[in-house]
Amino acid sequence: MVTDPRPAPFENSASACASPPGAVTPGFPEQLSAVIGLIYDTASDESLWPRLLESVAALVLESKVGTMALPDDVGLLGLKNIKGMNISLEPSAAEAYLLACLAPHFARSQEMLRTLKETEIERDVLERLMDRLPLGVAIVDGMGQAISMNRAMLALLQSDKPLGLRDGCLETHPPGALTQGLARVLCGQQEHASLRLAAVSDEISQTGSASTGGLSLWISHLGAGKENDRALVLAASPGSRALSTEALGAFFGLSAAESRLTQQLVLGQSIEEAAHALSISHNTAKSQLKKVFAKVGVKRQSDLVQAIYVSPLWLDLTGAEPMTLARHAELQSTSTQSGHLTPGGRLRLPDGRSIAWSDSGDPLGWPVVLCHAFLQGQHDRPPDDSVLTALGLRLIIPDRPGCGDSDPNPRGQMDDWPSDITHLLTHLGIDNFSVLSWSMGTPYALALARNLGDRVKALLLVSPINPLGDVSDLRFYAPKTRLILMVALFTPSLLPMLTRTLIKSVRKDVFAFLQPFLAEVPASEVDLFNNALFRSQRAKVLLKETDRDPELIAQNGMQALRGWNLGLPVPTMPCKIWHGDADPAVHWQAAQALSKALGGAPLRLEPGAGHHLIWCHWQAILQDLKDLRMMGQGKKCSTPGGLEA
């Protein structure tokens, strides 16, 4: 038998951060030092809390199942002084020892956190000042992803200008000009770049003047060093210099008519052009201008413009606060292109709850029920239904209880899921069907197969999870996920706290939440996350799914992790598993263990595929599911090639 060269997951939780074979395993002092460093890092970066808690949990577990070498001065911490001895501590003593070691550092980190909050207040003040500027200001990365922007920039993006916002990225029309300018500036080729975007013409000039209604962009590197990929984008249109008539009147004591005339002159209009724009005679305009000169204390039009631009009015001090407060909400909505999802069907169940679902593909095709993953739902599917239509498949994606538009189930039992689906399929007039699942939809798919086995004609599990029974099951999951699983095992009451942190990150900036996934996914999924339609749809669903109580979200996660087991009868219909051998979230050996538990169900390991295998190989997976049903009917099928284990 050939040994599989792919790395295996860690064998127990204590070795979650184990060194490569032959390396020296870090001792307790080194591990403790690493945790202390994380405590201080977390003070400035809340996203590190999961990693910190996981590291602390690993130390506690090690103290419970193994031995720790205590330092000679352990007595200084208030514990029994045991010099130079390797001892096995009782859990309470081990935890007390760790607490004594870490408590002073937590106190200092909290002081750092207080200082950080003061800094955040100062940053908020700076953002509010930016919101008062009439110029559009945005901070972007090398791909044009908007990290921050003021309200003037948001207003430009929402107007009919040659600059837009798509899935969180600034985009010029025609596309390419901004990203090219960013590339030249960030690589050091140019110190800054300027663009003139015409309002009507499709051509973009970097030297000519902007046409009426056009836009001017100025790009500069924000910070020093090529490793800093942040840039400042300034945008101005002719209307950017339009000061409010109310502010002009209040500051200089102008009448409403005089303020309107002054506003036009500040925009660069001549006295004749201003009179025409305001529908007044030339003589009336000249008479008003004389009064303006007298009140402002100038004698020429050029001096009037200069007097206004050296005044505080340039900061647009009126009416900024309501816009500032709504800026983040508006940016989220604009980024997701309205933020609304097309509602699917909705059915009232016998117990009074409602179940929601989407129905796509061939309406007369073979029904496929998809059991979705965590924080997913009826709207998570490829936007192009042509694959479904070509294969003659009808895709039905029900929202699980407490997800999407489905009401939560107070009982919270997975045994109710097959009953819910039975009512839904009866309503739709469907008798027999196939089941497809992805990730944390695995237990729900198995529940359907085991309870409705005579109606389920094929079962295909994609990137499946394994049930969480004890610490040994953590070996199948990524290090970042193990914290949540550890909490689910030992202190499930803390899950809502972790969920609140996740919800806060999503609501603050959903695209910034999605961005780190690009650094973790294998090369086969980079194009998927770079796809604007995918990002937009994923962002909308995330915002919808996190618009719920944290305890309900945590309950849904616990249900998928611990609400099932593999000690039930093996499904009798044709069954197959797909898993990527480069999955960073769930190790491929989880699928291998599941295959064994399901009586040796065929396992297809897709080379180079990650956790989003289902979307990257959508057509091949659907074809395989179709072939499974034909196989159950004794017909010939054409299973696609791949690595079968």
* Domain co-membership, 221 together with 163: yes
Average pLDDT over residues 322-338: 49
Q: How far apart are CA 135 and CA 535, in angstroms?
A: 29
Across 464-473, 598-607, 612-621, least confident range? 464-473
At 298, which amino acid appears?
A: V
DSSP 586: B
* Domain co-membership, 450 together with 428: yes
CATH code of the domain in which 170 resides: 3.30.450
* Domain co-membership, 589 together with 478: yes
* Domain co-membership, 404 together with 492: yes
CA dihedral 389, 390, 394, 395 (to 10 degrees): -90
Q: Where among 112, 144, 173 does a domain terminate?
A: 112
Average pLDDT over residues 446-453: 90
How remote is the C-alpha of 479 from its chain's centroid? 19
* Domain co-membership, 185 together with 97: no
Q: Is the pLDDT of residue 271 over 80?
A: yes
* Domain co-membership, 379 together with 261: no
* Model confidence band, residue 561 (pLDDT cutoffs 50, 70, 90): confident
Q: In the structure encoding, which two tokens stand for residue 337, read together?
A: 């292109």
CATH code of the domain in which 284 resides: 1.10.10.10
Model pTM score: 0.59
Across 14-18, 122-126, 377-381, 448-452, least confident range? 14-18
Residue 572 covered by a domain: yes
Give the percent of the chain with pLDDT over 70: 71
Q: In the structure encoding, which two tokens stand for residue 160, read together?
A: 């009919």
Q: How far apart are CA 296 and CA 502, in angstroms?
A: 54
Q: Where among 240, 260, 290 does a domain terminate?
A: 240
Residue 373 covered by a domain: yes
- Could you check whether the bond before residue 174 is cis, i.e. omega within 30 degrees of 0? yes
Provide the strand spans (E) within 198-241.
204-205, 215-221, 231-236
* Model confidence band, residue 462 (pLDDT cutoffs 50, 70, 90): very high
* Domain co-membership, 230 together with 258: no
Q: Residue 484 belongs to what domain range?
A: 345-644
Distance linking the first and last C-alpha atoms of the chain: 12
The helix, strand and coil proportions of the chain, stated in percent and rounded to the nearest 5, come to 50, 15, 35
* Domain co-membership, 271 together with 375: no
CATH code of the domain in which 356 resides: 3.40.50.1820
Residue 608 covered by a domain: yes
* Domain co-membership, 528 together with 472: yes
Q: How far apart are CA 554 and CA 495, in angstroms?
A: 6
Average per-residue pLDDT for the chain: 76
Helices 91-132 and 28-44, axial angle in degrees (round to 10)? 30
Average pLDDT over residues 510-514: 78
What is the predicted pLDDT for the residue at 473?
A: 79
- Write the burial class of residue 639 (CB in 10 Å: 0-12 exposed, 13-18 middle, 19+ buried): middle
Q: How far apart are CA 370 and CA 442, in angstroms?
A: 10
Q: Is the pLDDT of residue 330 over 60?
A: no
Helices 49-65 and 479-490, axial angle in degrees (round to 10)? 60
* Domain co-membership, 170 together with 56: no
What is the predicted pLDDT for the residue at 627?
A: 92
Average pLDDT over residues 37-59: 73
Specify the residue for token string 């998570």.
380
Selection from 28, 168, 157 nearest residue 514 by Cα: 168
Residues near 245 by beta carbon (within 8 Å), at least 6 away in sequence: 256, 259, 260, 263
Q: How far apart are CA 327 and CA 315, in angstroms?
A: 17
The total number of structural domains that make up the chain: 4
Average pLDDT over residues 477-505: 74
Higher pLDDT, 642 or 231: 231
* Domain co-membership, 570 together with 482: yes
Q: Is the pLDDT of residue 388 over 60?
A: yes
Across 14-28, 239-253, 481-495, least confident range? 14-28
Q: What's the pLDDT tens digit per position in 122-138?
A: 666 666 777 767 778 88
What is the predicted pLDDT for the residue at 335?
A: 52
Residue 127 covered by a domain: no
Please report which helix (H) or strand (E) contains residue 37, including its range: helix 28-44
Confirm if 378 and 400 have CB atoms less than 8 A apart. no
Residue 481 covered by a domain: yes
Q: How far apart are CA 602 and CA 582, in angstroms?
A: 19
What is the predicted pLDDT for the residue at 349?
A: 93
Q: Where among 240, 265, 293 does a domain terminate?
A: 240
Q: In the structure encoding, which two tokens stand for residue 301, read together?
A: 């039009």
Across 237-241, 330-334, 529-533, 590-594, least confident range? 330-334
Selection from 238, 236, 118, 230 nearest residue 182 by Cα: 230
Q: What's the pLDDT tens digit per position in 539-559?
A: 888 888 888 888 888 888 888
What is the predicted pLDDT for the residue at 244?
A: 74
Give the percent of the chain with pLDDT over 90: 23
Residue 159 covered by a domain: yes
Q: How far apart are CA 499 and CA 596, in angstroms?
A: 33
At 608, which amino acid appears?
A: G
Q: What's the pLDDT tens digit per position in 162-212?
A: 888 776 788 887 778 888 888 888 888 888 888 888 764 444 443 333 344
Residue 217 covered by a domain: yes
Q: Is the pLDDT of residue 469 over 50?
A: yes
Average pLDDT over residues 278-293: 92
Q: How far apart are CA 539 and CA 522, in angstroms?
A: 20
Residue 596 covered by a domain: yes
The Cα angle at residue 546 between residues 418 and 116, in degrees rounded to 5: 150
Q: Is the pLDDT of residue 617 over 70?
A: yes
* Domain co-membership, 95 together with 165: no
